[in-house]
Amino acid sequence: VHKLAIPGLMLGEVTDKHEFVFGDEVVTLEEAIDTWKKPLEKVFPTRSEGDQSIVDTTRHYIKGNIYVCKNKVAKPNVFIPVFPGTNCEYDSAKAFERAGANVITKVFKNLDAQGIRDSVEVFEKAIKESQIIMFPGGFSAGDEPDGSAKFFATAFRNEKLKEAVMDLLNNRDGLALGICNGFQALIKLGLVPEGKIVEQNAKSPTLTTNRIGRHISKVAYTRIASNLSPWFNNVHVDDIFSIPVSHGEGRFVADEDVIQKLFENGQVATQYVDLNGDPTMNEEFNPNGSYHAIEGITSPDGRVLGKMGHSERRDSYVGINIYGQKDQKIFESGVEYFK
């Protein structure tokens, strides 16, 4: 301050030690944080008593895409279905439009039986006109009864919608994306990790209540673990991004043999990591306690991607005070896949 001739009062000096020093008093950074959290820790806990260790599975799947689009389109259509409780459709539409796509947004009307029948017809038509279907985030039907995305999944088990989605994927080289509540819908439908709409069984992965037992909202660091998916064609394995997360049921759970198979196939797309870039169970960095720090997975060919982090919540002036790269270029990659 004195060298710049700027009037001011010197309050302290920044050092590389994790401590605060005032006279003879020394308080470590850890002690300061614990004291700050303590008054409300029992009411709003910041961590559970579970495993906080580093995960021993830092995998690198670098074989690349195994599926090539044959049905090229100059400007693909993206269908975004909106259900009661959906709240990310505007951000999602903006992200795709910015990437150069046309967006079709339709609301599922459930006021009466006729509204439901009409909505099925409207959704079916929109899927047939689109190259991409994107299940957005939110709390469809308030995440009731007993769990997230059940309304979403139930609607798409309708034979007309199921057939339209599978035609999009099997016959028209289509893509599907689900973020947060949309990821929960993909899991319940079986589109990830199976790549098709199937009934869940005892071995099916699921997304369950965060280990901390409540909703979490923060920015998490996520690492690209695989380049299998065309959704990640504009990034590289081991790239790390700062991505917003906001959910109550985002903990990825599956049997160990199922998870190992996903890693081997390159279907584990992204993992939560700490400041050293290591996948971890530490809730400061793996906020929901997902097994093997898994944040996102894909279908066997990578064309269906489900992830918890809100990659669409990015703009020039969003989170400018938060360190890290925020643009995974997912939406641009999805559009470029068809060109």
Task: For 255-319, give the DSSP string.
Answer: -HHHHHHHHHHT-EEEEEB-TTS-BB--TTTSTT--GGGEEEEE-TTS-EEEESS-TT---TTSS
In a domain? residue 38? no
The verdict on 6 and 117 lying in the same domain is no
- In Å, what is the CA distance from 58 to each residue of 28, 265, 267, 299? 32, 14, 14, 20
The verdict on 101 and 8 lying in the same domain is no
Task: For 17-30, give the DSSP string.
Answer: SSEEEETTEEEEHH
pLDDT of 146 reads 59
The verdict on 116 and 254 lying in the same domain is yes
pLDDT tens-digit profile of 173-209?
A: 999 999 999 999 999 999 999 999 999 999 999 999 9
Range of the domain at 10: 2-32
pLDDT tens-digit profile of 236-272?
A: 999 999 999 999 999 999 999 999 999 999 999 999 9
Instruction: Identify whether the C-beta of residue 140 lies closer than 8 Å to the C-beta of residue 86.
Output: yes
Q: Tell me the catalytic residues.
A: 180, 310, 312
User: Which pLDDT band, with edges at 50, 70 and 90, does 149 fall under?
Assistant: confident
The verdict on 214 and 295 lying in the same domain is yes
Can you read off the two tokens belonging to residue 75?
């400007």
pLDDT tens-digit profile of 114-148?
A: 999 999 999 999 999 999 999 999 987 666 655 56
pLDDT of 179 reads 98
In a domain? residue 54? no
- Residue 253, SS3? strand
In a domain? residue 39? no
